[in-house]
Amino acid sequence: MCTAMLALHAAAEPTRLRLATTTSTEQSGLLAHVLPEFERRFGVAVDVIAVGSGKALKLGENGDVDVIFAHAPELEEAFVRAGFGVNRRAVMRNDFVLVGPAHDPAGIKQIRSTPAALRRIAERGVTFISRGDESGTHQKERQLWREAEVTPQGVWYVSAGLGMGQVLLMADEKNAYTLSDRGTFLSYRRKGDLIIVQENDPPLDNPYSLIVVNPARYPDVKYIEAMQLIAWLTSPEGQARIGGLRHEGQILFHPMAVPAVAEEKRR
């Protein structure tokens, strides 16, 4: 009787896995698209904490979560090197776009490389809005300025501590340029006058990875369940599910963990 009750209790209370993730996976509907199947199959309930990539990694550093879904490659590498995380695994990718006013005041639409386009924005002193919040997008923007060999500062460089949607609104209001992930820009586009001025450039690639918080550091980490999540999302089936998410006919995240599936889905 007692064992039966315990078994019932176990069935009613699945293990809770804490996932700290960048906001785009949650806001785009990806997690709602892939997690229920995982939860059903493995009897694990996933608690999603959607924050910027920087904060997600900080939460992992403090042992407040079990697994992290981020898109800040440099920070992720440093996180693993410092011994905070293990088993970093690339899961999927999409890309960033440089957007600006329709009349392109810096004249950068014809420029072939994004760093060169940024250099032009800086030279002409046209307003550029930065997320300024340590998010994955902010990390990517910093990397692009480094590649452009420009230290962005001055009245034209506005560091707004806001989310992507609010920064797009601000860029639209101030006739400014900004860097955005394609998904957020697509869902925002109809409300403003901004256009894409740079896209499909290799530096704009945006890979997403899963990392498990080091169980040797925090023994409470649900290591097995975290690895199950990685296994499921990088399996051919999980990858196909990721690639199946569309917004107005466009793929939001290209699976990249299993090359064959990724190729098939991209076609």
Partner 1 sequence: MSFREALAASLALLLAGDADVLSAVLVSLRVALAATFFSSLAGIPIGFLVVSRSFRGRRAVEIALRTLTAVPTVVIGLIVYTLLSRRGPLGGLELLYTETAMILGSTLLVVPLMATLTMAVVSHADPRIEETALTLGASRTRAALTVLIESRRGLLAAVASGFGRLISELGVALMVGGNIARKTRTMTTAIALETGKGDFPLAFALGLVLLGVALGVNLVVYALSQEGR
Q: What does the buried/exposed string (b/e) look like for 67-87 if buried means 16 or more CB atoms within 10 Å of the residue's CB?
A: bbbbbbbebbeebbeeebbbe
Q: Which stretch binds partner 1 (CB under 8 A): 9-17, 24-32, 156-164, 220-228?
A: 156-164
Q: Does 215 bind partner 1 (CB under 8 A)?
A: no
User: Of these, 62, 151, 200, 250, which contacts partner 1 (CB under 8 A)?
Assistant: 62
- Nearer Cβ to partner 1 (49/227): 49
What is the closest distance, in whole angstroms, from the C-beta atom of residue 166 to partner 1 in the complex?
8
- Nearer Cβ to partner 1 (59/90): 59
Q: Kindly give, in sequence order, each residue whose CB lies less than 8 Å from that of residue 131, ignoring residues fewer than 6 positions away.
A: 137, 138, 141, 160, 161, 162, 163, 164, 167, 179
Torsion (CA) 97, 99, 103, 105 in degrees, nearest 10: -110
* Region for 87 from its dihedrals, namely left if φ exceeds 0, alpha if ψ lies in -120 to 50, beta otherwise: left
Residue pair 104/197 in contact (Cβ under 8 Å)? The answer is yes
User: Of these, 30, 38, 58, 137, which contacts partner 1 (CB under 8 A)?
Assistant: 58
What is the closest distance, in whole angstroms, from the C-beta atom of residue 192 to partner 1 in the complex?
9
- Nearer Cβ to partner 1 (58/254): 58
Q: Which two tokens stand for residue 65?
A: 């979560």
d(CA 21, CA 180): 18
90-149 residues near partner 1, rule: CB under 8 A = 132-134
d(CA 193, CA 156): 20
Q: Does 189 bind partner 1 (CB under 8 A)?
A: no
d(CA 182, CA 188): 10
Q: Does 161 bind partner 1 (CB under 8 A)?
A: yes
User: Of these, 21, 24, 25, 52, which contacts partner 1 (CB under 8 A)?
Assistant: 52
Residue pair 216/118 in contact (Cβ under 8 Å)? The answer is no
Q: Which stretch binds partner 1 (CB under 8 A): 2-10, 40-48, 55-63, 110-118?
A: 55-63
User: Of these, 88, 174, 189, 217, which contacts partner 1 (CB under 8 A)?
Assistant: 174
Parallel, antiparallel or unpaired: strands 246-247 and 250-251: antiparallel
Q: Which residue has the tokens 């997600």?
A: 56
User: Of these, 6, 83, 166, 246, which contacts partner 1 (CB under 8 A)?
Assistant: 166
Q: Which residues bind partner 1 (CB under 8 A)?
A: 51-52, 54-55, 57-59, 62, 132-134, 158-162, 166, 170, 172-174
